[in-house]
Amino acid sequence: MTTPTTVFASTTPLGTVTVEPLDVERHATLLHAWITHPRSIFWGMPDADLDAVRREYERIVANPHHHAWLGRLDDVPLFLTETYDPAHSELATHYPVAPGDVGMHVLVAPPDRPLHRLTSTVMRAVMTFIFAEPAHQRVVVEPDVRNEAIAAKNAEAGFVVDRLIQLSDKRARLSFCTRAEFAASPLGKEPR
Domain boundaries, the chain: 8-189
pLDDT digits (tens, 9 = 90+) for 156-168: 999 999 999 999 9
Model pLDDT, residue 115: 83
Q: Are the C-beta atoms of 158 and 181 separated by less than 8 Å?
A: yes
Q: Are the C-beta atoms of 53 and 64 separated by less than 8 Å?
A: no
pTM: 0.94
Map 122-150 to HEC letters. HHHHHHHHHHCCCCCCEEEECCECCCHHH
pLDDT digits (tens, 9 = 90+) for 170-183: 999 999 999 999 99
Model pLDDT, residue 160: 98
Model pLDDT, residue 4: 56
CATH topology of domain 8-189: Aminopeptidase (3.40.630)
What is the torsional sign of CA 148, 153, 156, 160? negative
